[in-house]
Structure 1
Amino acid sequence: MDSKLDKTTVSNGLKAIDFFCSGGGMSYGMKDAGIEIIAGIDFDKSCKSTYEANISGAEFINADVFDLEERYLELHLSLEKNDDNLIMIGCSPCQFWSIINTDKTKSAKSKNLLVEFSRFVKYFRPGYIVVENVPGVLRRKEESGLNEFIEWLKNNGYKSPHIKVHNVFDYGVPQSRKRFTLIATRLTEKEIEPAQIVGKKIVVKDVLGAHNGFEKIEPGHKDNTDFLHTVPNISDINKRRLKKVPKNGGNRLGFAKDPDLQLKCFIGKDDSFKDTFGRLWWDKPAPTITTKFFSISNGRFVHPEEDRALSIREGATLQTFPLTYKFIGTSIANIARMIGNAVPPKYAKALGKAIIQHHNAI
């Protein structure tokens, strides 16, 4: 992605508030499309420095949505009800609805975040609404509050909401990542649908590797510049394991027959968890970049050729953050969480461009 934001459509008057903004992936993409970002809201204060460093002109509001009052937001941001130019975006943390094995007790609170977001939608009735989440929120739409929210939208002027699971790979992101997406407007009865990429899609080799500015590094390499081509170290035995994982898409079966290297938990389970210790393919999209993409044992996150996990910048690049995006955090894990939880900016830009196109046609 070009680090220079697209200025061609900034005169459209559209402005957005990004709930659960984290490090700013959705905000950046929307701004790149040509939408003014008024504010990003998140309960995690550690996102503030990253958000403010990259989303110029937007205010970071550190607040828990459960405690945030509609009236406070109205006064603090000088908002008006029924503003046709206002976009409310809700990309709530989604661990509870994820198919990935997460601690559901820790994430239980997150299952009600859509309900809390809908409070603000019902109060302000903005011209546009965007919701993005894991597909699981659609599979369990009664429990997640999605059913009630969609019914309210349809009964209150948002006649034809776009409700679909998209793979961001179809929108210029070199990653297979399925996301539930809702786009709604009360300004017309026309459905707003983002445009997919026509022609060749971007894969790993198009963004990673030495030819794209990523020098060859070893496990444990620390990059103290803003580029953050940093990767954690791994144990000696894991280094030996990775040497036996075939380049360009190999997996842990490369060392399964070596009794010194095979992990006990995988004995007799050659068909299970094949992505663990697995390499990316150059000619395919990356798998879903999670918050643990810097770990070789948490998925297919090994470099296609080098014997190490993905670096922080490589993970961010596969999420389509520009190379100039500045991440400020307390640790590798803290920054990786912001990256893995983010809406890929290129996907966000596609959503923003679809809204702008609709708005300009009215």
Structure 2
Amino acid sequence: MPSKFTRPKLKAIDFFCGGGGMTCGLRQAGIDVLAGVDNNLKCRETYERNNSPAKFIGENITELPLNYFTNHFGVQPWDESLILVGCSPCQYYSIINTDKNKALLSRNLLMDFLGFVRQYMPGYVLVENVPGILTKKDTVWHDFKFAMRKLGYYFDYHILDLSYYGVPQSRKRFSFIASRLDHNVTLPPPDNRQAVLKDFIGEKNGFPTVPAGYRDNSDFNHTVAALSDVTLERLRHTRHDGGSRSDWANIPHLQLKCFVGRDDCFIDTFGRMRWDKPASTITTRFTSVSNGRFAHPDEDRGISLREGATLQTFPKNYVFVTSSMTETAKMIGNAVPPEYARRLGETIKTLENNGTI
């Protein structure tokens, strides 16, 4: 029997890869990522620019032949060093309001991903999604779990707060790790303390003070959304380091009609982040202060594109190649935080190093 030191290097295929958050983290862990698959062609340049030599496959998973990776990458079934990753779009299971037709299309993507698991029977499988995929009544999760067990996989899954996994935001996600090689497979352990804002952004972390509407044409992309005069005035009346819209609720021309008499509803709207706490979940609309607690703790502006990417734990040299702020924010907000992905990769490497073929 060969020793564990002859085991082939781990490699991965990242389904629903978007701009490459999961791929980035796995590569940081020393795992070779062969390819990322996504039907959003706007992600191609960002993905390949930052993750070479990984290739971007611009296809819909429902139309991709199951033997595609054998024909194009030489991937063989039952490869114990192969990781398949399936972080499918989650609109159907999300608590955030979204287009119902688009949401319905996302419902069965996990089962489409399962088809590739059956085809290749990889050594390891990773899935990351919103908590609703586990808790919502009309979910395919139970079918997926049953199928994985029937295929002979051992697995662990939980809803995790990623602020205890090196990600400075209160981001609760469903996480699943599976192995057909090791029945002791478990998700990475949490840290003893949360990651907090002050350790990631601010001037001491390389983010100069800028005004609302600032445009940064460099790859750093410290670009900030413009604000109306009345919203700027609202922020000037919002206490630094955690203030909320309740700070100007009694100033008639600043208060929004929809919030009159409803000070306890949607309290994070127009709120400032806090230095000593994790940020709110970085969504696809994190550049807008009216969509959550996305105002800078001290400066009268929302957070920049690069600040949002940093709170998602993308490296500061990760370049987002898009045509608009909206596209960039969407790519960042939809991503798996690379730091958590790195920890998943390290966990699999530990399992691999403890085993033998």
Scaled to the shorter chain, the TM-score interval is over 0.9
Partner SS, residue 28 of structure 1: helix
User: Which position in structure 2 is the counterpart of 1:189?
Assistant: 183
- Quote the offset at 1:77 in angstroms: 1.8
CA distance in 1, matches of 2:157, 2:206: 38
Q: How many residues align?
A: 350
User: Which position in structure 2 is the counterpart of 1:247?
Assistant: 240
Gap regions ≥5 residues in structure 2: none
1:177 pairs with 2:174: no
User: Which position in structure 2 is the counterpart of 1:278?
Assistant: 271
Are the equivalent residues in 1 in contact too, given 2:165–2:195 (CA < 8 A)? no
Residues 110-139 of structure 1: CA distance to partner in whole angstroms, max 9, x if unpaired?
111111111111111111000000000001
1:97 pairs with 2:90: no
Partner SS, residue 34 of structure 2: strand
User: Which position in structure 2 is the counterpart of 1:60?
Assistant: 56
Are the equivalent residues in 1 in contact too, given 2:18–2:335 (CA < 8 A)? yes
Partner SS, residue 228 of structure 1: coil
User: Which position in structure 1 is the counterpart of 2:130?
Assistant: 134
1:38 pairs with 2:31: no
CA distance in 1, matches of 2:240, 2:261: 24
- Quote the offset at 1:105 in angstroms: 2.6
Are the equivalent residues in 2 in contact too, given 1:29–1:352 (CA < 8 A)? yes
CA distance in 2, matches of 1:109, 1:59: 25
Stretch deviating more after TM superposition (86-95 or 183-192): 183-192
Are the equivalent residues in 2 in contact too, given 1:219–1:232 (CA < 8 A)? yes
TM-score, scaled relative to structure 1: 0.94
CA distance in 2, matches of 1:191, 1:157: 13
- Quote the offset at 1:271 in angstroms: 0.4
CA distance in 2, matches of 1:214, 1:189: 45
Residues 183-219 of structure 1: CA distance to partner in whole angstroms, max 9, x if unpaired?
0010122122213224x44210111111111111111
User: Identity rate of aligned residues, in percent?
Assistant: 49
Are the equivalent residues in 1 in contact too, given 2:176–2:187 (CA < 8 A)? no
User: Which position in structure 1 is the counterpart of 2:111?
Assistant: 115
Stretch deviating more after TM superposition (96-105 or 51-60): 96-105
CA distance in 2, matches of 1:170, 1:201: 5
- Quote the offset at 1:354 in angstroms: 0.5
Are the equivalent residues in 2 in contact too, given 1:195–1:350 (CA < 8 A)? no
From 291, 295, 302, give the equivalent of 1:309: 302
From 283, 287, 295, give the equivalent of 2:288: 295
Are the equivalent residues in 2 in contact too, given 1:97–1:137 (CA < 8 A)? yes
User: Which position in structure 2 is the counterpart of 1:153?
Assistant: 148
- Aligned residue identity for 2:325: I
CA distance in 1, matches of 2:48, 2:310: 19
From 58, 74, 77, give the equivalent of 2:73: 77
- Residue 312 to residue 357, structure 1, CA distance change in 2 (3 Å): same
Partner SS, residue 297 of structure 1: helix
User: Which position in structure 2 is the counterpart of 1:220?
Assistant: 213
User: Which position in structure 2 is the counterpart of 1:168?
Assistant: 162
CA distance in 1, matches of 2:307, 2:89: 22
CA distance in 2, matches of 1:281, 1:117: 39
CA distance in 2, matches of 1:90, 1:186: 16
Partner SS, residue 353 of structure 2: helix
Partner SS, residue 78 of structure 2: coil
CA distance in 1, matches of 2:220, 2:200: 15
User: Which position in structure 1 is the counterpart of 2:343?
Assistant: 350
From 199, 224, 242, give the equivalent of 1:231: 224
Stretch deviating more after TM superposition (200-209 or 343-352): 200-209
TM-score, scaled relative to structure 2: 0.96
Residues 63-120 of structure 1: CA distance to partner in whole angstroms, max 9, x if unpaired?
0111111022321121101110100000011111111222223321011111111111
Are the equivalent residues in 1 in contact too, given 2:157–2:187 (CA < 8 A)? no
- Quote the offset at 1:258 in angstroms: 0.5
CA distance in 2, matches of 1:274, 1:245: 13
- Quote the offset at 1:12 in angstroms: 5.6
Partner SS, residue 164 of structure 1: strand
User: Which position in structure 2 is the counterpart of 1:4?
Assistant: none
CA distance in 2, matches of 1:305, 1:64: 43
* Pairing 1:310-325 to 2, within 5 Å after superposition: 310-325=303-318
Partner SS, residue 291 of structure 2: coil
Superposition RMSD in Å: 1.3
Residues 10-46 of structure 1: CA distance to partner in whole angstroms, max 9, x if unpaired?
x861000000000100000011011100000000000
From 295, 311, 327, give the equivalent of 2:320: 327
Partner SS, residue 111 of structure 1: coil
Runs of 4+ in 1 over 4 A off after TM superposition: none
